[in-house]
Amino acid sequence: MPAITSVTVATPDGTSHSVAQAMAFIESFDESKPCGPFTRYEIGVRYNNGDEIRGQFNDKATAITFLRGMR
């Protein structure tokens, strides 16, 4: 079974995270105070076999549900 090598949440710094770090970032993100207009959460998950899954979510709850499924 392939293992996750990185999870990236589209942020100004484009930092890669573990699934747990990505969930913590999204959960703590204050949508009412972004540095620009908030449009959506963009998440990329990469696996050690070269596969990649990308998701775009309009709300925090759906993004977290997606990441929980990645564990």
- Give the C-alpha separation, 21 to 17, whole Å: 5
Q: 17-63, pLDDT tens digit by residue?
A: 788 888 888 888 887 775 667 778 888 898 999 999 999 998 889 99
pLDDT value at residue 62: 93
Q: Where are the domains of the chain?
A: 4-68
Q: Quickly count: other Cβ atoms within 10 Å of residue 2's Cβ.
A: 10
Average pLDDT for 13-18: 66
- Give the C-alpha separation, 35 to 41, whole Å: 14
pLDDT value at residue 66: 92
Is the CB of residue 34 less than 8 Å from the CB of residue 41?
A: no
